[in-house]
Chain A
């Protein structure tokens, strides 16, 4: 039984790279197979061949398991170490910011809004971390988390800008940072959609244009108290959608025509003597 399992596993494992990790996995699988065989025998199956086949069957789609194992072979410990290093850097950053805040506080006796040092530092740290992670995710062509992280970075940047304008520069209307934030998030996301050839790009673009126009209208209205005829800005998005649809239809028509021409050219004009005798029966 053991030799049969060994032969089976040796054959299967030839489909993946012969690494030490693969050897360990093969040995582990053999132990599991033998243990299962023992259980089946204890339960009462005495036919060795049946025990063997049942155990192999219970491995399931082993080819897929092996392929997945082969793909995953590299990391594990490296990942753990990276997490450890990341945690250490985060702790060091927090400690450094706390000390800086305390030093500034004790020296200047200003405890507010110097606490922004901590908030800004933490946001910056988190932002840098997410940017680094984004670069790696872009390389791995995993764009969805990249877009989520970009949005988070923009939210943190906006919140910090608002706090700075409000608490340090005491600017009226600093809350409008949040209106700009929405535009910023949508704009960046649309940019990423185009850069990564996302299917949603043609949907996102008019939404971005419309939101941008509305926010611009609101900000202009608040700052200048002029609401008319700036309200026309709100129609830009609608106009943009109509133009976009028209352009899209024109492009589609053009592409279809080219394809049809190509097909007709081959179908009606290309000559081959084989067509005299060829049957599709």
Chain B
């Protein structure tokens, strides 16, 4: 008899999100030396064996969906290729889909590009989010290094994938309060669209990227530190100001965008003991106006973000509501009910954070470049994802669109970089004293 796995709350939610995006999480790592393919294959198989959901197919049963553990070979997971156009191959790979019926829910590509290798990972978002993909990549490197050194004590977390791990740090009144947060926070209506063209048949998937270079970002961050403001607040500020500009929204219009929040902050030991899964919520950042200068926009952002930061239950809202819907209705009805009540944000931001090069080194191959990004959004939705590595920030916007949309996203990045520069020039004096 086939072995089945329970479809957890977030698995079902991410499945529902197929209506808004392609359900894939992406990671691309550039190494300065070739990797040992034999070792990599062993580590991949070991990891996938330890995490059965990664070699399972999903069944959207009308009453209760579930996963069926499937047989597979390493060739189902790993694609190895010698390339003469690495960027093209990367783009082709990261825009692939992994169907829910597939026997594996993770695809890895290793491109040999002259003397360097590029490792690309594509995972079904139903299996894990950006937070756990970061963990997964670190563990992949750690286990690879161990195996390379002859150490067989490999490790990856294999605990519960249940959503309620987010309550593991709470008890008593706090727990009761958190489990009573039925408020639907997705119901913040914001009619602002990113100016993409209408949906068309020839739209294709793309991940448009731009970097904030090391020197620029260092200065940007230093000024932020002098102003006692986090990098996230600063990026949110330039992002929001750039949205006002590219979207030509009125200066006095309220703009609300959600920022993804890693809910592992609420989990005991930062989620080290759970299984690989999704633990992502969001907080709303709402600016009442654009503000005359970029510093005024920053003040607007701070005023909004402070409210969320003061909330000990940030990100935990709506979870009891989702749990209730899935508990009392058969899946087909609960999905319809949730779809009615859920407003997918038109514009979002996800700061995935720092990719730790030291922990991602594989053997003697150093991580010299890379990024992670979320799912590829279908029009009219869009999201900016941020990762930083070796002092550089990679901004990425993953959408399904056409060349004109690509040009618009690139124009947006120009505006964004322009706003970073504007912020620096307006506040440089604060670090010159």
CA distance A35 to B229 in the complex (A): 11
CA distance A42 to B295 in the complex (A): 6
Q: Across the interface, which residues of B come within 8 angstroms of A31, CB to CB? A: 310
Residue of B nearest to A42 (CB): B295
The answer on a CB contact under 8 Å between B302 and A38 is yes
6 pairs from A and B in contact (CB 8 Å cutoff): A38-B228, A38-B229, A39-B303, A41-B227, A42-B229, A43-B299
Q: Is A44's CB within 8 Å of the partner chain B?
A: yes
Report, nearest first, the 6 A-B pairs whose CB atoms are least far apart: A42-B295, A39-B299, A42-B299, A42-B298, A38-B228, A42-B227
Residue of B nearest to A39 (CB): B299
Q: Is B306's CB within 8 Å of the partner chain A?
A: yes
The answer on a CB contact under 8 Å between B295 and A43 is yes
Return A4 CB to nearest CB of chain B, in Å: 16
CA distance A31 to B302 in the complex (A): 13
CA distance A43 to B426 in the complex (A): 11
The answer on a CB contact under 8 Å between B227 and A39 is no
Q: Across the interface, which residues of B come within 8 angstroms of A43, CB to CB? A: 295-296, 299
Q: A41-B227, A42-B302, A44-B295 are in contact. List 11 more A-B contacts (CB 8 A).
A: A31-B310, A35-B306, A38-B228, A38-B229, A39-B299, A39-B302, A42-B227, A42-B299, A43-B295, A43-B296, A43-B299
Interface set, chain B 15-69, CB cutoff 8 A to A:
none
Interface set, chain B 292-324, CB cutoff 8 A to A:
295-296, 298-299, 302-303, 306, 310
CA distance A39 to B303 in the complex (A): 9
CA distance A43 to B296 in the complex (A): 7
Interface 0/1 of A31-56, CB less than 8 Å to B? 10001001101111000000000000
CA distance A232 to B395 in the complex (A): 96
CA distance A42 to B299 in the complex (A): 7
Return A24 CB to nearest CB of chain B, in Å: 13
CA distance A263 to B303 in the complex (A): 66
Residue of B nearest to A40 (CB): B299
B-contacting residues of A (Cβ < 8 Å)? 31, 35, 38-39, 41-44
The answer on a CB contact under 8 Å between B296 and A35 is no
CA distance A41 to B306 in the complex (A): 17
CA distance A35 to B299 in the complex (A): 10
Return B327 CB to nearest CB of chain A, in Å: 26
Return A125 CB to nearest CB of chain B, in Å: 30
Residue of B nearest to A44 (CB): B295
Q: Across the interface, which residues of B come within 8 angstroms of A38, CB to CB? A: 227-229, 302
CA distance A185 to B228 in the complex (A): 65
Q: Across the interface, which residues of A come within 8 angstroms of B228, CB to CB? A: 38
Q: Across the interface, which residues of A come within 8 angstroms of B229, CB to CB? A: 38, 42
CA distance A44 to B298 in the complex (A): 13
CA distance A38 to B305 in the complex (A): 14
Residue of B nearest to A38 (CB): B228
Interface 0/1 of B234-260, CB less than 8 Å to A? 000000000000000000000000000
**Given contacts A42-B295, A43-B296, is CB(A35)–CB(B227) below 8 Å?**
no
Residue of B nearest to A32 (CB): B306
Residue of A nearest to B433 (CB): A46
Q: Across the interface, which residues of B come within 8 angstroms of A39, CB to CB? A: 299, 302-303
Return A5 CB to nearest CB of chain B, in Å: 14
Residue of B nearest to A37 (CB): B228
CA distance A42 to B423 in the complex (A): 11
CA distance A110 to B227 in the complex (A): 78
Q: Across the interface, which residues of B come within 8 angstroms of A41, CB to CB? A: 227
Return B72 CB to nearest CB of chain A, in Å: 53
**Given contacts A41-B227, A42-B227, is CB(A35)–CB(B295) below 8 Å?**
no
Q: Across the interface, which residues of A come within 8 angstroms of B227, CB to CB? A: 38, 41-42
Q: Across the interface, which residues of A come within 8 angstroms of B299, CB to CB? A: 39, 42-43
Q: Across the interface, which residues of B come within 8 angstroms of A42, CB to CB? A: 227, 229, 295, 298-299, 302
Return A29 CB to nearest CB of chain B, in Å: 14
CA distance A119 to B328 in the complex (A): 39
Q: Across the interface, which residues of A come within 8 angstroms of B295, CB to CB? A: 42-44
Return B126 CB to nearest CB of chain A, in Å: 40
Return A40 CB to nearest CB of chain B, in Å: 9
Interface set, chain B 159-204, CB cutoff 8 A to A:
none
CA distance A54 to B298 in the complex (A): 20
Return B280 CB to nearest CB of chain A, in Å: 27
CA distance A44 to B299 in the complex (A): 12
Q: Across the interface, which residues of B come within 8 angstroms of A35, CB to CB? A: 302, 306
CA distance A38 to B302 in the complex (A): 10
Return B145 CB to nearest CB of chain A, in Å: 43
CA distance A38 to B227 in the complex (A): 7
Residue of B nearest to A34 (CB): B228
Residue of A nearest to B226 (CB): A41
